Amino acid sequence: MGGESLDNLEIEKSLGLVGWSIEDDGVGGLLKVRVEDFRVEEVSRVPALDPKGRFTVARVTLHNWETNRLLNRLAKSCSISRNRIFASGLKDKRAVTTQILVIDAPQKRVSEVSIPDCEIEILGRTHQKVGMSDHDGNRFTITVRGCCHPDGSPMDGKEALMRVQRIRKGLGDNLGADVFPNWIGPQRFGSNRPVTPMVGRAVVEDDYERAVDLYLGMAGNRSGEETASFRKMWRETRDPKNCLEIIPKHLGYERDILNKLSEDDSDWLGAFKSLPHSLQLLTIHSLQSLAFNHALSRRLSSGLSLIEPMVGDIVAPLKTNGRIDVSKMAYVSDTNLDRCRRNCSLGRLSLTGPLPGNTPNLAEGEPGLVERQALIDTELEFTDWNVKRIPRLSSSGTRRPLCVPFSDFSVEEATEIPPSAEVSKRWEEQPSAGERWNPLGASLRLSFTLPPGTYATVLMREFMRSPLDHY
């Protein structure tokens, strides 16, 4: 574990976010200059309401809140366990997000909760919980600012709009109308500090000391001075009590770990388990996600189609919300090849890639060779996914669509930033050498709807072609 920040290209390579389905320079630019520039509205049905229901249903709008942290805060405000709040997805932090929550607490108590930058609209009561990915999708409205050419010169609105439409057409020609490669986005790994899969690897290897060490101490790009100093102190001293004296307030999970270590500095397992269950699980999922991204990248570089199956591929039926029915996956063989190709072209079936686990689920033939090489690239070919000391983190593995649709797409020039508006520190500081944005460049507002579990930043990456830390 080092203290040096990684280069963008190194991070992209390590996360498998390499390659394109079409060649283009894109519009460049920077996301999340303002919190309001990134809006997400969950597309979901409200659970069936019943005045006698056990649970409270609420529509929650968050301004610059990471979902897990908000749920912890809400649980504390309602005097309940975090496990008694149910959500169908985790949303972006630096954004305005709206989603449905089901809360196992009296309606009156929820209505009395007051949390800064959080609006809670009580919808009623229900007997129904919601689970991960129960929603139908997410509606995004995203503003990219500072569009520019690869040489850093500003790009005007007309040129930027033309490039977005050109890329959209290119994706359509190569993959089908309004379809794009289903990479797993940088947020899954930790955008500016891709520590999550490294922690996950330590967990499946039963090395909780290394897992905690990485989580506390790994340096990140664009960390604030206080955060960088805290992580440096941990790397140099590994003294939980001294680190607690300087830890920034916003690092709540790290604080919980340090408090546990202050009680027993050898209880690394207990320290890791002080993280919320959803975050513990995310470390495993992010490790699996590495394999998927590398398989998708290798498939592109090998010249294999992302939409037309070949013998050995594994296909799955597509549901109306763009997700796949993993219970009905099937291998493509000589006998069903034509039928699979036809159903893929009609949007009924999707090619899939691996999220590895203990149950063998790799393709065969040439696609299988690509997937096995991805496991070798990520050093996951011999991984035991049984997490012996935390069995609930064990995984049998599954598959994920290689491509997904986007819908209700629109793009227009966006208004300039008002002089009094609060902007990111990065925008205030102006671009550094090698960055792909220019404050004099155009701003575009893109709107689209994506299936659950799909990353808007990945679609924006197709249009922007900016370095990874611009998202």
Bridging pattern class, strands 30-31 and 55-63: unpaired
**342: DSSP letter:** H
CA distances from 240 to 229, 245, 251, 271, 334 (A): 14, 9, 14, 11, 60
CA distance 361 to 243: 43
What is the DSSP annotation of 386-454?
--TTSGGG----EEEESEEE-EEEEEEEPPPPPTT----HHHHH-PPTT----TTS--EEEEEEE-TT-
Is residue 391 within 8 A of residue 430, CB to CB? The reply is: no
Beta strands in 165-243 (DSSP E): 179-181
b/e for 141-155, b at 16 or more Cβ within 10 A?
bbbbbbbbbeeeebb
Residue of 329, 330, 316, 312 whose CA lies nearest to 367: 312
Q: Which residue in 37, 92, 213, 377 is the catalytic one?
A: 92
Is residue 110 within 8 A of residue 58, CB to CB? The reply is: yes
Is residue 257 within 8 A of residue 215, CB to CB? The reply is: yes
Tell me how crowded residue 327 is: count the other CB atoms within 10 A of its CB: 7
178 is catalytic: no
How far is residue 464 CA from its own chain's centroid?
A: 18
Tell me which residues are annotated as active site: 92
